[in-house]
Amino acid sequence: MTEPSGGSAGGALAEATPPAGAGPTEADWAAGVAAVQGLPPDGRVLLICHVNPDGDALGSMLGFGLGLRRLGVRRIQATFPGPPEVPVPFLGLPGLDLLVPATEAYPDPDLVICFDAAGESRLGELADRLETAGAALVLDHHASNTRFGRINLVDPHAAATSVVAEGLLTRLGVPLDAGIAECLYVALSTDTGSFRFEATTPAVHQLAARLLATGIRPGDISRRIFDTRPFGAVRLFGEVLGRARLEPAAAAGHGLVWTYATQDDLARHDQRPYVLEALIDSVRCTAEADVSCVVKQTTTGDWAVSMRSKGAVDVSRVAVALGGGGHRFAAGFTGSGTVDEVVDRIRAELDGALTGPGGR
């Protein structure tokens, strides 16, 4: 997910990453190309995306994996940390046959490539591959990316990691086909909120045009990804939205709206956790609040927090302060304790973010 709104195009992200804001240099791209072209015959490539993968994580990883296959690379695995459960909306993605459970991932691949992960912690139990692999390449677009690869193709101005993935595929001479294009389109459309967010530059639409020209069907894809959910999820959303709280005085008067969902809520409506990913979009439209949060209980009893801002508050600063990361207008972290304790921490950081050094 990237910035939902506000700010000048790209400028907001650049601010958070002064020296590296420019994105990959030609030398970085050349190193990325060399890492792929220098694979030994029958070399093993491990592709990893971040935990709880979203459309950009899965789409950029699988699209790139299909591109490697077109180059003739035969031993390719794609994976992500945690349970090997692909959210239902992504079950139609091309390239799913590349996926293996994290427990079966090559322990010492010739090349590891990480997608859409701002830091090693987002790779969970797979982070050790950065050391054990022959070469380690990071493809990402988070301003907060820690450059944890040996080669880092990180472009904070890119609307999605798929933009970086397409850049590398092009430099490798891989032509777009419908399978690659569908993966990259899912990634691009999810991270730009269906081409609504500020990062939706002319270049994003030009890339979308190239992807659509392969014959993929945007109506079908969007219906599957954005406009389909089980009836139980519709009822669950009703309940969870019904308990949303608006705090107009929070965030130094810019306003906070938040709600939460527990494992028990999911169980009562017989729903899988992925359905909660779309909740933030229904909460963040609240006119009276700049900041919105959804606090989601994980299977371990911790809370995965999604935060969004309309522009007055840099929620990535709040998320980073609380151990997470993200973008200025879309960020997250994982917290423990009760819901009230987690929201208390958010309130305190929101006040700090607006009044502390560098606050606005």
User: What residue ranges bind Mn ion (CB under 5 A)?
Assistant: 54, 56-57, 116, 161, 191
Residue 326 within binding range of ligand AMP, rule CB under 6 A: yes
Picked from ligand AMP, Mn ion, none, the partner binding residue 140 (CB below 5 to 8 A depending on kind) is none
**Residue 75, by phi and psi: left (phi above 0), alpha (psi -120 to 50) or beta?**
beta
Stretch that binds ligand AMP, among 78-86, 131-139, 152-160, 322-330 (CB under 6 A): 322-330
Classify the C-alpha dihedral 137-174-22-306 as positive or negative: negative
CA dist 4 and 130 (Å) reads 31
Stretch that binds ligand AMP, among 73-81, 153-161, 318-326, 341-349 (CB under 6 A): 318-326
Name residues contacting ligand AMP, limited to 92-131 (CB under 6 A): 118, 122
Tell me which of 190, 259, 306, 309 binds ligand AMP, using CB under 6 A. 306
**Count of positions (residues) in the chain:** 360
Classify the C-alpha dihedral 80-84-87-88 as positive or negative: positive
If the CB atoms of residues 114 and 216 are measured against ligand AMP, the closer one turns out to be 114
Stretch that binds ligand AMP, among 40-48, 75-83, 182-190, 331-339 (CB under 6 A): 331-339
Residue 334 within binding range of ligand AMP, rule CB under 6 A: yes
Stretch that binds ligand AMP, among 3-11, 15-23, 326-334, 351-359 (CB under 6 A): 326-334
CA dist 186 and 79 (Å) reads 18
| Residues contacting 22, CB < 8 A, separation 6+ | none
Picked from ligand AMP, Mn ion, none, the partner binding residue 330 (CB below 5 to 8 A depending on kind) is ligand AMP
Stretch that binds ligand AMP, among 101-109, 180-188, 202-210, 327-335 (CB under 6 A): 327-335
| Residue 331 CA neighbour count, 13 Å, CB half | 29
Tell me which of 24, 59, 325, 335 binds ligand AMP, using CB under 6 A. 325
CB of 16 to ligand AMP, least distance (A): 12
If the CB atoms of residues 118 and 256 are measured against Mn ion, the closer one turns out to be 118
CB of 141 to Mn ion, least distance (A): 6
Sites of contact with ligand AMP (CB under 6 A)? 1, 118, 122, 280, 306, 324-327, 330-334
